[in-house]
Amino acid sequence: MTYDVGADTAVTVVMPTYNEAANLPRMAEAVLQLPLTGLHLKIVDDSSPDGTGRIAEELAEKYNADGQRRMSVLHRTEKDGLGRAYTAGMSAALDEGAAYVVQMDADGSHPVDAVPRMLGTAVATGVGLVIGSRYVEGGSLDEDWGVHRVLLSRFANGYARAVLGTKIRDITAGFNLWSATTLRDVDLATLDSAGYSFQVELKYKAVRAGHSAVEIPIRFEERTEGVSKMTLRTQLESAVVPIRLRLKHK
C-alpha cells in the first residue's frame, strides 16, 4: 500500500549510531521498505569501534545501487553525544532539502511502521512536530524494560514537564517527526544539549517558538541486541537542562 498524501514528500530519517552493528542491517531494511517514495535514511555514526560505520557504508552502497540516493552516512570522529550527533544529522538533512525529518533510534525500540502515520498526521494537521509517544492513551512500554529504566524514564519525563510547565506528555521521547520549517525556526546550531536532553530542549524551544505538537501513541520495545549508551553523565545533564531552560526563558 502507498500513501497518497505525502508519499513523494522528501522525508529523511536521521538515525544516530554508536556500536549498533547487530541492529543496523535490519533497521535499514525496515526503514527503506516503507511505502514512502521520498524516504531517505541518514546514519550518524561516531566512529563506533564495532564497525557500525563500515556496515552503514556497505548498506548505503547496496540500497543506492539502482542510482537512487536512498541512504547516506555521516561519520564523526569521536563519541560526542546523542544531541550533537542529531544536530549534525538534522542540519545536513535540511541542507539536502528534506521537508520532514524523523528522529529514530537504531536499536529497534521505535516502531518503524509508525512513520507513515506520523507523516500523515503532520500533513493532515499542519503541525510542525509529531511525537511518537509512550505516555498518551494507547501508548506503552515494553514489559522487559527493567523497573529501574521504567521509573527513570517516568521520573525524567515528569520532572522535565513540571520544571518547564509543558503539556507534552512524552517530552523526553526520541521518536519524533519534524517539519523543516519548525527545525529552521528553532535553529539547531544554538542548542546547548550534548546528550539525551537534546530531546527535551528541542521540543521546548519549538513550542516556545509558536509551533504546536501532536502526540500519537506508540509501543516502545526494549532492545534485543547491543547495550544502552545512557550514562550517569547524560542523566545529570537531563537534570540540569530543564532548569537552565526555565531560567533562561522565564
Ligand X SMILES: Nc1nc2c(ncn2[C@@H]2O[C@H](COP(=O)(O)OP(=O)(O)O)[C@@H](O)[C@H]2O)c(=O)[nH]1
Q: Which does 74 bind (CB under 5 to 8 A by kind): ligand X, Mg ion, none?
A: none
**What residues from 137 to 196 belong to the interface with ligand X (CB under 6 A)?**
none
Q: Is there binding between residue 109 and Mg ion (CB under 5 A)?
A: yes
Contact 16, 109 (CB under 8 A): no
Kind and range of the H or E run holding 14: strand 11-17
CA 33 centroid distance within chain: 19
Q: Angle 82-95/198-208 helices, nearest 10 degrees?
A: 50
Distance of alpha carbon 219 from alpha carbon 214, whole angstroms: 16
Question: Which neighbouring-strand residues pair with 11?
Answer: 39, 100
**What residues from 102 to 121 belong to the interface with ligand X (CB under 6 A)?**
105-107, 109
Name which of 107 and 237 has its Cβ closer to Mg ion: 107
Fill in the per-residue mask, 209 to 228: x = in contact with ligand X (CB under 6 A), - = not in contact: --------------x----x
User: For the chain, first and last CA: distance in Å?
Assistant: 48
Instruction: Choose among 113, 90, 239: nearest CA to 178.
Output: 90
Q: Is there binding between residue 18 and ligand X (CB under 6 A)?
A: yes
Shortest Cβ distance from residue 130 to Mg ion (Å)?
A: 20
Q: Is there binding between residue 82 and ligand X (CB under 6 A)?
A: yes
Give the interface segment with Mg ion, choosing from 11-19, 62-70, 218-226, 242-250 (CB under 5 A). 218-226
Distance of alpha carbon 180 from alpha carbon 12, whole angstroms: 10
Shortest Cβ distance from residue 45 to ligand X (Å)?
A: 6
Half-sphere exposure of 94 (CA within 13 A, CB side): 18
Instruction: Select the residue interacting with ligand X from 92, 94, 136, 230 (CB under 6 A).
Output: 230
Contact residues for ligand X (CB under 6 A)?
A: 16-18, 20, 44-46, 79-82, 85, 105-107, 109, 223, 228-230
Contact residues for Mg ion (CB under 5 A)?
A: 105, 107, 109, 223
